[in-house]
Amino acid sequence: MSAETLIREKLLVALRPTRLDVVNESHMHSGHAGSPGTGESHFRVMVVSEAFEGKSRVERHRMVNAALADELRGRVHALALTTYAPGEAVR
């Protein structure tokens, strides 16, 4: 299963988002130090979830990182996160 699919599935289960965008940006980091060259190492994720209500940005990022812990220890080298609670401005 692709890293993108795993990220999507794990976040859907863990956070039940109303919006989830997962973008593979690995092609932009080809040859970058630390990049494994697999084409599945750098991702940009935007999540809108009720689970983020009342949480700080750091707490929200920790929730996402906890859900993706296995991927972050392995094949995912970089994860750019944007996290919102419903009703917050989504860009």
Q: CB–CB of 64/83 below 8 Å?
A: yes
Structure confidence at residue 87 (pLDDT): 93
pTM, 2 dp: 0.84
Contacts of 67 (CB under 8 A, 6+ apart): 10, 11, 13, 14, 15
51-88: pLDDT as tens digits: 999 999 999 999 999 999 999 888 887 899 999 999 99
- As a whole number, mean pLDDT of residues 36-44 equals 71
Domains in the chain, start-ordered, CATH in brackets? Answer: 3-84 (3.30.300.90)
